[in-house]
Protein backbone atom coordinates (compact mmCIF):
# COMPACT_ATOMS: atom_id res chain seq x y z
CA UNK A 1 0.00 0.00 0.00
CA UNK A 2 1.00 3.67 -0.36
CA UNK A 3 1.82 5.33 2.93
CA UNK A 4 3.71 8.30 4.33
CA UNK A 5 6.76 7.46 6.38
CA UNK A 6 8.96 9.50 8.71
CA UNK A 7 12.46 7.96 8.47
CA UNK A 8 14.27 10.26 10.92
CA UNK A 9 13.40 13.01 13.41
CA UNK A 10 14.28 16.06 11.28
CA UNK A 11 10.86 17.69 10.99
CA UNK A 12 7.93 17.42 8.56
CA UNK A 13 10.09 17.89 5.40
CA UNK A 14 11.50 14.36 5.69
CA UNK A 15 8.03 12.82 5.18
CA UNK A 16 8.20 10.49 2.16
CA UNK A 17 5.69 8.52 0.14
CA UNK A 18 6.61 4.81 0.27
CA UNK A 19 5.20 1.41 -0.66
CA UNK A 20 4.93 -0.84 2.38
CA UNK A 21 3.02 -3.96 3.41
CA UNK A 22 -0.56 -3.56 4.58
CA UNK A 23 -1.04 -4.00 8.34
CA UNK A 24 -2.03 -7.44 9.66
CA UNK A 25 -5.82 -7.90 9.37
CA UNK A 26 -6.32 -7.56 13.11
CA UNK A 27 -9.63 -5.95 14.11
CA UNK A 28 -11.57 -3.75 11.68
CA UNK A 29 -9.71 -3.35 8.37
CA UNK A 30 -10.45 -0.02 6.67
CA UNK A 31 -9.69 1.28 3.17
CA UNK A 32 -8.66 4.82 4.03
CA UNK A 33 -10.06 7.68 1.91
CA UNK A 34 -8.75 10.60 3.96
CA UNK A 35 -6.40 11.09 6.92
CA UNK A 36 -6.39 13.97 9.40
CA UNK A 37 -3.29 16.02 10.27
CA UNK A 38 -2.98 17.17 13.90
CA UNK A 39 -0.43 19.15 15.89
CA UNK A 40 1.10 16.04 17.52
CA UNK A 41 2.03 14.86 13.99
CA UNK A 42 4.30 17.92 13.71
CA UNK A 43 5.80 17.48 17.19
CA UNK A 44 6.46 13.78 16.57
CA UNK A 45 8.51 14.46 13.42
CA UNK A 46 11.04 16.18 15.70
CA UNK A 47 10.81 13.73 18.60
CA UNK A 48 9.15 16.45 20.70
CA UNK A 49 5.98 14.54 21.59
CA UNK A 50 5.63 12.55 24.81
CA UNK A 51 5.12 9.35 22.79
CA UNK A 52 8.14 8.38 20.67
CA UNK A 53 7.29 6.04 17.79
CA UNK A 54 10.07 3.67 16.69
CA UNK A 55 11.59 4.76 13.34
CA UNK A 56 10.57 4.62 10.57
CA UNK A 57 6.93 5.25 11.39
CA UNK A 58 3.73 6.13 9.53
CA UNK A 59 2.25 9.33 11.02
CA UNK A 60 -1.45 10.10 11.41
CA UNK A 61 -3.89 9.88 14.31
CA UNK A 62 -7.26 9.74 12.55
CA UNK A 63 -8.83 8.54 9.32
CA UNK A 64 -12.08 8.16 7.43
CA UNK A 65 -12.85 5.43 4.93
CA UNK A 66 -14.79 2.28 4.15
CA UNK A 67 -14.74 -0.96 6.15
CA UNK A 68 -13.12 -3.75 4.13
CA UNK A 69 -13.66 -6.43 6.76
CA UNK A 70 -14.74 -6.68 10.39
CA UNK A 71 -14.38 -9.52 12.90
CA UNK A 72 -17.26 -11.99 13.28
CA UNK A 73 -19.93 -10.61 15.60
CA UNK A 74 -18.92 -7.00 14.97
CA UNK A 75 -21.60 -4.30 14.66
CA UNK A 76 -19.67 -3.11 11.59
CA UNK A 77 -19.66 -4.76 8.18
CA UNK A 78 -17.86 -4.44 4.85
CA UNK A 79 -18.91 -1.31 2.99
CA UNK A 80 -19.73 0.81 6.07
CA UNK A 81 -18.55 4.44 5.93
CA UNK A 82 -16.57 5.11 9.10
CA UNK A 83 -14.18 7.43 10.88
CA UNK A 84 -11.47 5.93 13.07
CA UNK A 85 -8.74 6.77 15.53
CA UNK A 86 -5.29 5.25 15.27
CA UNK A 87 -4.68 7.71 18.15
CA UNK A 88 -1.09 8.63 17.23
CA UNK A 89 0.48 6.78 14.29
CA UNK A 90 -0.47 4.76 11.22
CA UNK A 91 -3.24 6.92 9.74
CA UNK A 92 -1.48 8.34 6.65
CA UNK A 93 -1.75 5.08 4.69
CA UNK A 94 -4.15 3.38 2.28
CA UNK A 95 -5.15 0.72 4.79
CA UNK A 96 -5.44 0.66 8.60
CA UNK A 97 -6.56 -2.04 11.02
CA UNK A 98 -8.19 -0.73 14.20
CA UNK A 99 -9.81 -2.11 17.34
CA UNK A 100 -13.59 -1.80 17.00
CA UNK A 101 -13.93 0.64 19.89
CA UNK A 102 -11.98 3.21 17.87
CA UNK A 103 -14.18 2.97 14.75
CA UNK A 104 -17.36 5.04 14.42
CA UNK A 105 -20.14 5.07 11.80
CA UNK A 106 -19.90 8.29 9.79
CA UNK A 107 -23.19 10.15 9.15
CA UNK A 108 -24.07 10.11 5.43
CA UNK A 109 -23.92 13.90 5.19
CA UNK A 110 -20.28 14.01 6.38
CA UNK A 111 -17.71 13.59 3.58
CA UNK A 112 -14.59 11.45 4.04
CA UNK A 113 -12.42 14.60 4.12
CA UNK A 114 -14.57 16.19 6.85
CA UNK A 115 -14.85 12.84 8.63
CA UNK A 116 -11.07 12.46 8.78
CA UNK A 117 -10.94 15.81 10.55
CA UNK A 118 -13.71 15.35 13.02
CA UNK A 119 -12.67 12.87 15.72
CA UNK A 120 -9.38 14.10 17.15
CA UNK A 121 -10.41 17.72 17.67
CA UNK A 122 -14.15 17.40 18.26
CA UNK A 123 -13.76 14.64 20.85
CA UNK A 124 -11.00 16.62 22.59
CA UNK A 125 -13.20 19.71 22.67
CA UNK A 126 -16.18 17.65 23.85
CA UNK A 127 -13.98 16.32 26.67
CA UNK A 128 -12.80 19.86 27.46
CA UNK A 129 -16.16 21.64 27.45
CA UNK A 130 -18.52 18.90 28.66
CA UNK A 131 -16.50 16.53 30.83
CA UNK A 132 -13.71 18.63 32.33
CA UNK A 133 -14.92 22.23 31.86
CA UNK A 134 -18.54 21.77 33.05
CA UNK A 135 -19.88 24.21 30.43
CA UNK A 136 -23.33 25.39 31.52
CA UNK A 137 -26.08 26.89 29.35
CA UNK A 138 -25.69 30.61 28.67
CA UNK A 139 -21.96 30.77 29.44
CA UNK A 140 -19.28 32.57 27.41
CA UNK A 141 -16.33 30.60 25.99
CA UNK A 142 -13.07 32.20 24.86
CA UNK A 143 -10.74 30.10 22.70
CA UNK A 144 -7.09 30.76 21.83
CA UNK A 145 -5.62 29.63 18.50
CA UNK A 146 -9.19 30.01 17.29
CA UNK A 147 -8.45 29.53 13.58
CA UNK A 148 -6.64 26.23 14.23
CA UNK A 149 -8.01 22.70 14.45
CA UNK A 150 -8.95 22.75 18.15
CA UNK A 151 -10.00 26.40 17.83
CA UNK A 152 -12.45 25.95 14.94
CA UNK A 153 -13.78 22.80 16.60
CA UNK A 154 -14.49 24.79 19.78
CA UNK A 155 -16.30 27.49 17.80
CA UNK A 156 -18.45 24.86 16.02
CA UNK A 157 -19.31 22.86 19.14
CA UNK A 158 -19.62 25.34 22.01
CA UNK A 159 -23.03 26.77 20.93
CA UNK A 160 -24.45 23.24 20.54
CA UNK A 161 -23.32 22.49 24.10
CA UNK A 162 -25.12 25.59 25.41
CA UNK A 163 -22.63 28.46 25.17
CA UNK A 164 -24.37 31.77 24.53
CA UNK A 165 -21.27 33.47 23.16
CA UNK A 166 -17.84 32.55 21.81
CA UNK A 167 -14.84 34.86 21.68
CA UNK A 168 -12.09 33.87 19.24
CA UNK A 169 -8.47 34.93 19.89
CA UNK A 170 -6.28 34.94 16.75
CA UNK A 171 -2.96 36.37 15.61
CA UNK A 172 -4.09 38.02 12.35
CA UNK A 173 -7.11 39.49 10.57
CA UNK A 174 -7.09 36.61 8.04
CA UNK A 175 -7.32 34.09 10.84
CA UNK A 176 -10.17 36.20 12.26
CA UNK A 177 -12.13 35.53 9.06
CA UNK A 178 -11.60 31.78 9.51
CA UNK A 179 -12.81 32.02 13.13
CA UNK A 180 -15.90 33.98 12.10
CA UNK A 181 -16.70 31.42 9.41
CA UNK A 182 -16.47 28.70 12.09
CA UNK A 183 -19.08 30.57 14.13
CA UNK A 184 -17.26 32.98 16.46
CA UNK A 185 -19.55 35.60 18.03
CA UNK A 186 -16.58 37.98 18.48
CA UNK A 187 -12.97 37.99 17.29
CA UNK A 188 -10.06 39.69 19.07
CA UNK A 189 -6.35 39.81 18.32
CA UNK A 190 -3.97 37.92 20.62
CA UNK A 191 -2.01 41.08 21.16
CA UNK A 192 -3.92 42.94 23.89
CA UNK A 193 -6.74 40.37 24.10
CA UNK A 194 -7.29 40.88 27.86
CA UNK A 195 -8.45 44.48 27.49
CA UNK A 196 -10.56 43.66 24.44
CA UNK A 197 -12.30 40.85 26.37
CA UNK A 198 -12.88 43.16 29.30
CA UNK A 199 -14.59 45.66 26.97
CA UNK A 200 -16.63 42.98 25.22
CA UNK A 201 -17.92 41.51 28.49
CA UNK A 202 -18.57 44.81 30.30
CA UNK A 203 -15.71 44.05 32.71
CA UNK A 204 -17.13 40.69 33.86
CA UNK A 205 -14.85 38.33 31.93
CA UNK A 206 -15.61 34.91 30.41
CA UNK A 207 -16.74 31.67 32.03
CA UNK A 208 -14.36 29.40 30.15
CA UNK A 209 -11.00 29.91 28.43
CA UNK A 210 -10.06 26.93 26.25
CA UNK A 211 -6.31 27.20 25.75
CA UNK A 212 -4.39 25.10 23.20
CA UNK A 213 -1.59 27.71 23.04
CA UNK A 214 -0.19 28.32 26.57
CA UNK A 215 2.94 30.45 26.73
CA UNK A 216 2.95 34.06 27.84
CA UNK A 217 -0.79 34.68 27.43
CA UNK A 218 -1.66 32.34 30.31
CA UNK A 219 -1.71 34.94 33.08
CA UNK A 220 -3.89 37.28 31.01
CA UNK A 221 -6.21 34.31 30.37
CA UNK A 222 -6.60 33.86 34.13
CA UNK A 223 -7.26 37.59 34.48
CA UNK A 224 -9.96 37.30 31.79
CA UNK A 225 -12.04 34.80 33.78
CA UNK A 226 -15.30 35.77 35.49
CA UNK A 227 -15.79 34.56 39.10
CA UNK A 228 -16.20 30.77 39.00
CA UNK A 229 -14.47 30.66 35.61
CA UNK A 230 -12.41 27.72 34.33
CA UNK A 231 -9.20 27.85 32.28
CA UNK A 232 -8.94 24.60 30.31
CA UNK A 233 -5.33 23.59 29.60
CA UNK A 234 -5.39 21.77 26.25
CA UNK A 235 -1.96 22.32 24.69
CA UNK A 236 1.15 24.40 24.24
CA UNK A 237 1.51 25.38 20.59
CA UNK A 238 3.15 28.59 21.78
CA UNK A 239 6.06 26.45 23.01
CA UNK A 240 6.29 27.48 26.65
CA UNK A 241 4.52 25.54 29.39
CA UNK A 242 3.23 28.31 31.68
CA UNK A 243 3.32 28.31 35.47
CA UNK A 244 0.58 29.64 37.69
CA UNK A 245 0.71 31.51 40.99
CA UNK A 246 -2.09 29.79 42.84
CA UNK A 247 -3.03 32.89 44.84
CA UNK A 248 -4.74 34.08 41.64
CA UNK A 249 -7.07 31.07 41.82
CA UNK A 250 -8.00 31.87 45.40
CA UNK A 251 -8.45 35.60 44.88
CA UNK A 252 -10.86 35.25 41.98
CA UNK A 253 -12.41 31.83 42.67
CA UNK A 254 -11.24 30.39 39.35
CA UNK A 255 -10.04 26.91 38.32
CA UNK A 256 -7.21 25.76 36.09
CA UNK A 257 -8.35 22.42 34.65
CA UNK A 258 -6.18 19.91 32.81
CA UNK A 259 -7.66 18.31 29.69
CA UNK A 260 -5.92 15.15 28.52
CA UNK A 261 -8.46 13.52 26.25
CA UNK A 262 -6.30 10.52 25.31
CA UNK A 263 -5.53 9.78 28.96
CA UNK A 264 -9.19 10.27 29.95
CA UNK A 265 -10.49 7.92 27.25
CA UNK A 266 -7.77 5.41 28.17
CA UNK A 267 -8.90 5.33 31.79
CA UNK A 268 -12.67 5.49 31.13
CA UNK A 269 -13.78 2.44 29.10
CA UNK A 270 -16.69 3.24 26.78
CA UNK A 271 -15.98 6.99 26.91
CA UNK A 272 -15.22 7.37 23.17
CA UNK A 273 -18.48 5.60 22.24
CA UNK A 274 -20.37 7.80 24.70
CA UNK A 275 -18.80 10.93 23.17
CA UNK A 276 -19.62 9.82 19.62
CA UNK A 277 -23.21 9.01 20.66
CA UNK A 278 -23.58 12.68 21.64
CA UNK A 279 -21.71 14.13 18.68
CA UNK A 280 -22.88 12.02 15.71
CA UNK A 281 -26.58 13.09 15.91
CA UNK A 282 -25.49 16.76 16.03
CA UNK A 283 -23.44 16.24 12.85
CA UNK A 284 -26.18 14.18 11.16
CA UNK A 285 -28.87 16.79 11.84
CA UNK A 286 -26.62 19.69 10.83
CA UNK A 287 -26.93 21.24 14.33
CA UNK A 288 -23.12 21.14 14.29
CA UNK A 289 -21.54 21.78 10.89
CA UNK A 290 -18.88 19.28 9.81
CA UNK A 291 -15.38 20.77 9.58
CA UNK A 292 -14.43 22.22 6.20
CA UNK A 293 -10.80 21.15 6.06
CA UNK A 294 -7.93 22.31 3.89
CA UNK A 295 -7.22 19.22 1.76
CA UNK A 296 -3.75 18.18 0.52
CA UNK A 297 -2.96 15.12 -1.62
CA UNK A 298 -1.25 12.30 0.29
CA UNK A 299 2.10 12.93 -1.43
CA UNK A 300 2.19 16.46 0.02
CA UNK A 301 1.92 15.22 3.62
CA UNK A 302 5.17 16.91 4.65
CA UNK A 303 3.87 20.30 3.54
CA UNK A 304 0.54 19.66 5.28
CA UNK A 305 2.22 18.74 8.57
CA UNK A 306 4.58 21.73 8.26
CA UNK A 307 1.62 24.11 7.94
CA UNK A 308 0.76 23.37 11.58
CA UNK A 309 4.34 23.85 12.69
CA UNK A 310 4.87 27.12 10.78
CA UNK A 311 1.49 28.51 11.87
CA UNK A 312 0.05 28.95 8.36
CA UNK A 313 -2.71 26.33 8.74
CA UNK A 314 -6.22 27.71 8.75
CA UNK A 315 -8.79 25.34 10.21
CA UNK A 316 -8.35 21.58 10.07
CA UNK A 317 -5.84 20.05 7.64
CA UNK A 318 -6.59 16.70 5.96
CA UNK A 319 -4.87 14.46 3.37
CA UNK A 320 -6.85 12.90 0.51
CA UNK A 321 -5.61 9.32 0.35
CA UNK A 322 -7.80 7.89 -2.45
N1 LIG B 1 -5.10 17.90 25.53
C2 LIG B 1 -5.51 17.09 24.59
O3 LIG B 1 -6.13 16.07 24.86
C4 LIG B 1 -5.23 17.47 23.16
C5 LIG B 1 -5.85 16.79 22.11
C6 LIG B 1 -5.63 17.24 20.79
C7 LIG B 1 -4.74 18.30 20.57
N8 LIG B 1 -4.13 18.88 21.63
C9 LIG B 1 -3.18 20.01 21.48
O10 LIG B 1 -3.88 21.16 21.11
C11 LIG B 1 -2.96 22.04 20.47
C12 LIG B 1 -3.60 22.63 19.23
O13 LIG B 1 -3.72 21.67 18.24
P14 LIG B 1 -4.37 22.08 16.83
O15 LIG B 1 -4.53 20.81 16.06
O16 LIG B 1 -5.53 22.98 17.04
O17 LIG B 1 -3.19 22.94 16.19
P18 LIG B 1 -3.29 24.03 15.02
O19 LIG B 1 -4.41 23.71 14.10
O20 LIG B 1 -1.92 24.17 14.48
O21 LIG B 1 -3.70 25.38 15.81
C22 LIG B 1 -2.91 25.87 16.83
C23 LIG B 1 -2.98 27.39 16.89
O24 LIG B 1 -2.02 27.79 17.87
C25 LIG B 1 -1.65 29.14 17.61
N26 LIG B 1 -0.22 29.34 17.87
C27 LIG B 1 0.28 30.23 18.74
N28 LIG B 1 1.61 30.17 18.78
C29 LIG B 1 1.99 29.23 17.89
C30 LIG B 1 3.25 28.75 17.46
N31 LIG B 1 4.40 29.21 17.97
N32 LIG B 1 3.27 27.77 16.53
C33 LIG B 1 2.13 27.26 16.03
N34 LIG B 1 0.88 27.69 16.40
C35 LIG B 1 0.82 28.68 17.32
C36 LIG B 1 -1.98 29.42 16.15
O37 LIG B 1 -2.99 30.42 16.16
P38 LIG B 1 -2.61 31.98 16.05
O39 LIG B 1 -1.58 32.12 14.94
O40 LIG B 1 -3.90 32.62 15.73
O41 LIG B 1 -2.06 32.35 17.40
C42 LIG B 1 -2.59 28.11 15.63
O43 LIG B 1 -3.72 28.36 14.81
C44 LIG B 1 -1.70 21.23 20.23
O45 LIG B 1 -0.74 21.54 21.23
C46 LIG B 1 -2.15 19.80 20.40
O47 LIG B 1 -1.11 18.96 20.80
C48 LIG B 1 -4.35 18.49 22.91
pLDDT in tens, 87-137: 899 999 999 999 999 999 999 999 999 999 999 999 999 999 999 999 999
Q: What percent of the chain has pLDDT over 90?
A: 97
pTM (predicted TM-score): 0.97
Question: Mean of the per-residue pLDDT values for the chain?
Answer: 97
3-state secondary structure of 52: coil
How many angstroms separate the alpha carbon of residue 234 from the centre of ligand 1? 9
**Which pLDDT score is estimated for 66?**
98
What does DSSP assign to residue 270? Answer: T
Probe target for ligand 1 pocket from 118, 213, 265, with the most ligand atoms within 8 Å of CB? 213
**Which pLDDT score is estimated for 239?**
83
Q: Are strands 165-170 and 186-189 parallel, antiparallel or unpaired?
A: parallel
The domains of the chain are located at 2-118+290-320, 121-262
pLDDT per residue as tens digits for the range 32-55: 999 999 999 999 999 999 889 999
How many angstroms separate the alpha carbon of residue 69 from the centre of ligand 1? 35
The domain defined by 121-262 folds into: Rossmann fold (3.40.50)
Contact in structure between 279 and 123 (CB atoms under 8 Å): yes
**Distance of alpha carbon 147 from alpha carbon 171, whole angstroms:** 9
**Distance of alpha carbon 164 from alpha carbon 256, whole angstroms:** 22
pLDDT per residue as tens digits for the range 280-305: 999 999 999 999 999 999 999 999 99
Residue nearest to atom 24 of ligand 1 (CA): 145
Where does the pLDDT of residue 315 fall: very low under 50, low under 70, confident under 90, or very high at 90 and above?
confident
Is 117's C-beta closer than 6 angstroms to any atom of ligand 1? no
pLDDT per residue as tens digits for the range 51-83: 899 999 999 999 999 999 999 999 999 999 999
DSSP secondary structure of 93-133: BSEEEE-GGGEEEPPTTS-HHHHTTTHHHHHHHHIIIIIIS
Q: Which atom of ligand 1 is nearest to the CA of 49?
A: 47
Is 36's C-beta closer than 6 angstroms to any atom of ligand 1? no
pLDDT per residue as tens digits for the range 179-198: 999 999 999 999 999 999 99
CA-wise closest residue to 318 among 110, 137, 174:
110
Q: Which CATH architecture does the domain made up of 2-118+290-320 adopt?
A: Alpha-Beta Complex (3.90)
Is 11's C-beta closer than 6 angstroms to any atom of ligand 1? no
Q: Give the H or E element holding residue 153.
A: helix 149-157
Residue nearest to atom 12 of ligand 1 (CA): 212
Amino acid sequence: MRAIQIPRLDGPDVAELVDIDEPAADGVVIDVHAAGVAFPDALQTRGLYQYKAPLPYVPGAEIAGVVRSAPAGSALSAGDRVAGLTMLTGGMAEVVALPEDRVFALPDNVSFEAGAGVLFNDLTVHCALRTRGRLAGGETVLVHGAAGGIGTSTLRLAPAFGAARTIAVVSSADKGDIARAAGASDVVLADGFKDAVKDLTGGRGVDIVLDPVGGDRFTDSLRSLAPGGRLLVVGFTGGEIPTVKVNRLLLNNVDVVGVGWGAWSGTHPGYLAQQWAELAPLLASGAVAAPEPIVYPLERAGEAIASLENRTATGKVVLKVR
